[in-house]
């Protein structure tokens, strides 16, 4: 869990990301209760309406669901769904920048592959 | 709770506020931002019934506040450098608060005195600037007034005290839902507890939006001059500076996936503009 919020994204999106990361990393398991609006707004000292908006985006994406009067819970299958999305992002966020930087430095794809294999052996 | 419609206020030819209106403000925390002399304090005074608008409607829960004690009782307006009686000590001001505000919370006031390390026997005229700000803040919070207006509450307070102040405002609003109007130069620090922002500029209401929407706006782009000029064509550029063949611009668009992709496609660096810088630039342009 992120200790503080930053400028990288709107606050409500950061709240959604925090819950997503907890699910992907296994800190929140399927069927488990998600931290409440109150807990999140106290932890980060942010407006409760902002927290609500962040959690609502996860409800809309069917990552979590509401149980009236009890709280929000992680949906069955949420982790697999999030992992699939992350894998799609992997190419864009890691592979493409990796190749772009290699190109700037004049490194061939073979050299990059060699470096990756070396790193893996360590 | 607060309604302002076509309000003009001022002496002589040059008005201080010019035909201002905004959507009704309800319970929640609204930040009030403006450059010095923009008219923030004047607006607060009208809301608190200290002054009467020359034209237009100011309403507090459906009634005009000017010269109406029963209306003004639901408003606690703590001015920047609030005028207190010169013979009062800290405790006197709290007793006055208890006498004046029907929902006054003396336990809360005493708790806050400890948090801000204020000595209740000390003369108000002997308090430092920061300590006086803290006392005004304590009165604002403890009043539990339906409408609590704090003008620059963090003046003279260090970062640690300011942090405590934001937490207390948020908690107080949650426990006793009411309307907080808070003007501050530290918009960066207070934004995360706010619902909406009201920007007063050049005697008018310039922005009145949910803060989440405003804080998404404003990006920095840096990179090849020709590429920057191409992607920002038709966009509102708030600031630009050149370094050789490189150009740095502040653009009035949201920091979102679309713009991140545009930047990455053209090999440009992209960053979010800080809210304070964004507002400074927006109000610069409109001058």
DSSP secondary structure letters along A52-117: HHHHHHHHHTTSEEEETTTEEEEPTTHHHHHHHHHHHHHIIIIIHHHHHHHHHTT--HHHHHHHHH
pLDDT for B287: 46
Instruction: Check pLDDT > 60 for residue B271.
Output: yes
Does the domain made of A11-76 have the CATH classification 1.10.10.10? Answer: yes
The whole-angstrom separation of Cα B182 and Cα B29 is 8
In chain B, the domains with their CATH numbers are: 2-213 (3.40.50.300), 216-285 (3.30.70.120)
- Residues 60-119 of chain A with CB under 8 A from chain B are none
Does residue A3 or residue A105 have the better pLDDT? Answer: A105
Q: What is the ipTM of this complex?
A: 0.72
Contact: B170, A45; criterion CB under 8 Å: yes
The edge-to-edge listing of strands for the beta sheet with B55-60 is B17-25, B2-9, B55-60
pLDDT-derived band at A109, boundaries 50, 70, 90: very high
pLDDT-derived band at B107, boundaries 50, 70, 90: very high
Contact: A45, B29; criterion CB under 8 Å: no
How many CB pairs lie under 8 A apart between chains A and B? 35
pLDDT for A9: 78
List residues bridging with B168 in a β-sheet.
none
Question: What is the tens place of the pLDDT at every residue in B17-60?
Answer: 999 999 889 899 999 999 988 899 999 999 999 999 999 999 99
Nearest CA-CA distance, residue A47 and chain B, Å: 4
Average of per-residue pLDDT values in chain A: 91
Chain B residues at the A interface, defined by Cβ less than 8 Å, are 28-29, 166-167, 170, 174, 192-195, 212, 215-216, 272, 274
Chain B residues in contact with A48 (beta carbon < 8 A): 174
pLDDT for A122: 82
pLDDT for B81: 86
Instruction: Check pLDDT > 60 for residue B286.
Output: no
The whole-angstrom separation of Cα B242 and Cα B246 is 6
Contact: A48, B216; criterion CB under 8 Å: no
Complete DSSP assignment for B36-95? TTSSHHHHHHHHTTSS--SEEEEEETTB--TT-HHHHTTEEEE-TT----TT-BHHHHHH
Residue pair B33/B26 in contact (Cβ under 8 Å)? The answer is no
Q: pTM score > 0.80 for this model? A: yes
The count of other CB atoms within 10 Å of the CB of residue B51 is 16
CA B219 to chain centre: 23
CA A41 to chain centre: 19
Domain boundaries, chain A: 11-76, 79-121
Residue of B nearest to A96 (CA): B264
Which of B29, B212, B274 is opposite residue A7, by nearest beta carbon?
Answer: B274
Contact: B192, A48; criterion CB under 8 Å: no
Q: Is A41 on the interface with B (CB under 8 A)?
A: yes
pLDDT for B285: 55
Q: Is A45 on the interface with B (CB under 8 A)?
A: yes
Residue pair B34/B40 in contact (Cβ under 8 Å)? The answer is yes
The whole-angstrom separation of Cα B47 and Cα B99 is 22
Instruction: Check pLDDT > 80 for residue A8.
Output: no
Question: What is the tens place of the pLDDT at every residue in B123-164?
Answer: 999 999 999 999 999 999 999 999 999 999 999 999 999 999
């Amino acid at each position: 869990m992120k200790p503080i919020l930053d400028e990288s994204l709107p606050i409500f999106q950061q709240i959604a990301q925090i819950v997503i990361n907890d699910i992907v990393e296994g800190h929140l398991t399927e069927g488990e209760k998600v931290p409440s609006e109150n807990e999140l707004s106290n932890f980060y000292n942010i407006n409760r309406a902002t927290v609500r908006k962040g959690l609502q985006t996860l409800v809309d994406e069917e990552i979590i669901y509401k149980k009236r009067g009890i709280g929000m819970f992680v949906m069955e299958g949420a982790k697999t769904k999030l992992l699939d999305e992350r894998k799609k992002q992997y190419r864009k966020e890691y592979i493409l920048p990796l190749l772009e930087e290699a190109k700037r430095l004049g490194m061939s794809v073979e050299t990059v592959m060699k470096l990756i294999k070396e790193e893996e052996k360590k | 709770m607060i309604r302002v419609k076509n309000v003009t206020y001022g002496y002589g030819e040059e008005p201080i506020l010019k035909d201002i209106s905004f959507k009704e403000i309800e319970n929640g925390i609204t930040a009030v931002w403006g450059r010095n002399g923009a008219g923030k304090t004047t607006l607060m005074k009208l809301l608190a019934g200290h002054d009467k608008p020359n034209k237009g409607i100011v309403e507090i829960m459906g009634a005009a506040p000017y010269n109406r004690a029963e209306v003004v009782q639901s408003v606690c307006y703590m001015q920047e450098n609030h005028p207190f009686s010169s013979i009062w000590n800290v405790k006197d001001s709290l007793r006055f608060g208890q006498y004046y505000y029907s929902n006054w919370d003396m336990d809360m006031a005493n708790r806050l005195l400890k948090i801000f390390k204020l000595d209740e026997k000390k003369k108000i005229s002997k308090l430092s600037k920061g300590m006086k700000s803290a006392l005004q803040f304590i009165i604002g919070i403890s009043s539990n007034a339906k409408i609590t207006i704090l003008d620059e509450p963090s003046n003279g307070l260090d970062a640690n005290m300011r942090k405590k102040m934001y937490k207390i405002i948020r908690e107080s609003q949650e426990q006793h839902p009411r309307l907080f109007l808070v003007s501050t130069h530290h918009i960066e620090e207070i934004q995360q507890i706010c619902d909406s922002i009201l920007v007063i500029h050049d005697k008018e209401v310039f922005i009145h939006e949910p803060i989440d929407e405003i804080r998404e706006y404003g990006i920095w782009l840096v990179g090849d001059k020709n590429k920057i000029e191409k992607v920002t064509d038709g966009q509102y550029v708030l600031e630009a500076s050149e370094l050789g063949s490189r150009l740095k611009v502040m653009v009035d668009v949201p920091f979102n996936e679309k713009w991140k992709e545009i930047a990455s496609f053209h090999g440009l660096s992209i960053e979010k503009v800080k809210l304070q810088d964004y507002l400074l630039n927006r109000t610069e342009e409109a001058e």
